[in-house]
């Protein structure tokens, strides 16, 4: 009986959050360790379906770097780097489209549908959803560094997603942008997700990682922080390494109108539900204001 009472208490704890977020859009960047293995992918798909069933409108933007690397190796296509940055050649771009827009995207869609949801897969090329241009970054000599078909987002068409949401579908988006001449660009998944979250005025932008969230100097998780505190933590060296670009993507989304950003460990089963529907949460929440 105690076990049943605990389940009931969990549902009661979730009730105010369900009421608050019903009808709101939540964008989730899904990738990395959270996609490692069928069990984790199934857990994530179940979370998405439950969100949809309680009236929340989830939008998924996914990555797939390891899967791309495996296919490049299988096809003997070299993976080039310039000054430490990955180059996407035209040949590699074909693989990126095949893997992200095909294999990975359709697997996520199939899992969500299998658990009773309604998902539809697309890339940023569909309907001109994610418009992009060639990404340029300065090299060590100060001149632009050519990274091939790597792109940066110039615009997102939210109406493409709004139509799907009205029809009850969960958009599952591969981060491939389209250029002015119809050319495809490989977009960083976190960056694409942040721009999508901003374009649809998401209530929440969730980034799944392989760490518990932002950690303090004692390596303990920071439960909540403001955008100003996050910016200060980057300047002071508290936030380092791969967490910096994730936090910066979250800050970009906040500046463009997203209400809250959550960074959490996607390896934890049902991590999305635990973050949204419990009082304490399991990750780091970043807010625009105190």
Which run of H or E residues covers position 285?
A: strand 284-287
Would the pLDDT of 4 be above 60? no
Residue 83 has pLDDT above 80, yes or no: no
| 101 located within any domain | yes
Determine contact, residues 48/112, Cβ cutoff 8 Å: yes
Whether 47 is covered by a domain: the verdict is: yes
pLDDT at 1: 64
Over the stretch 202-234, which tens digit does the pLDDT of each residue have?
Answer: 999 999 999 999 999 888 999 999 999 999 999
Q: Residue 175: give its domain's CATH number.
A: 3.40.1160.10
Q: Tokens 């998944």: give the residue.
A: 189
pLDDT of residue 290: 63
* Residue 186 pLDDT > 90: yes
Q: Is residue 209 part of a domain?
A: no
Judge whether 219 lies within some domain.
no
Statement: residue 57 has pLDDT above 60: yes
Q: What element of type H or E holds 152?
A: strand 144-156
User: What average pLDDT does range 64-83 have in this prediction?
Assistant: 88
The total domain count for the chain is 1
Domain extent, residue 112, equals 21-188+264-283
C-beta of residue 188 within 8 angstroms of C-beta of residue 244? no
Span 268-280, pLDDT tens digits: 999 999 999 988 8
In b/e form, how buried is each residue of 235-268, taking b as 16+ CB within 10 angstroms? eeebbeeebeebbbbbbbbbeeebbbbbbbbbbb
Residue 283 in this model has a pLDDT that exceeds 90: yes
Q: Is residue 203 one of the residues assigned to a domain?
A: no
3-state SS of 40-67 is HHHHHHHHHHHHHHCCCEEEEEECCHHH
Q: Rounded mean pLDDT of the chain?
A: 92
Q: Is residue 10 part of a domain?
A: no
In a domain, 33, yes or no: yes
Residue 217, domain member (yes or no): no
Q: How far apart are the two ends of the chain, measured CA to CA in Å? A: 41
Handedness of CA 204, 210, 212, 216 (dihedral sign): negative
């Amino acid at each position: 009986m105690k076990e049943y009472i605990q389940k009931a208490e969990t549902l009661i704890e979730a009730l105010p959050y369900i009421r608050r977020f019903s009808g709101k859009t939540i964008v989730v960047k899904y990738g990395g360790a959270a996609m490692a293995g069928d069990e984790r992918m199934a857990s994530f798909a179940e979370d998405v379906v439950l969100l949809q069933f309680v009236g929340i409108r989830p939008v998924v933007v996914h990555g797939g770097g390891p899967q791309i690397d495996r296919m490049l190796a299988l096809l003997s296509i070299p993976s080039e780097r310039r000054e430490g940055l990955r180059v996407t050649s035209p040949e590699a771009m074909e693989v990126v489209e095949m893997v992200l827009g095909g294999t990975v995207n359709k697997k996520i869609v199939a899992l969500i549908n299998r658990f009773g949801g309604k998902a539809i897969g697309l890339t940023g090329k569909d309907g001109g959803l994610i418009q992009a241009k060639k990404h340029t970054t300065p090299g060590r000599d100060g001149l632009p560094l050519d990274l091939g078909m790597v792109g940066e987002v110039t615009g997102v068409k939210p109406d493409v997603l709004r139509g799907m949401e009205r029809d009850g579908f969960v958009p599952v988006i591969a981060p491939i942008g389209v250029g002015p001449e119809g050319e495809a660009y490989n977009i960083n998944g976190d960056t694409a997700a942040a721009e999508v979250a901003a374009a649809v005025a998401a209530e929440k932008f969730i980034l799944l990682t392989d760490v518990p969230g932002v950690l303090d100097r004692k390596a303990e998780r920071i439960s909540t922080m403001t955008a100003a505190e996050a910016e200060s933590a980057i300047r002071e060296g508290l936030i380092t390494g791969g967490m910096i670009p994730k936090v910066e993507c979250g800050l970009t989304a906040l500046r463009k109108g997203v209400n809250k950003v959550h960074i959490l460990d996607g390896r934890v089963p049902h991590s999305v539900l635990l973050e949204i529907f419990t009082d304490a949460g399991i990750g780091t929440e970043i807010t625009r204001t105190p």
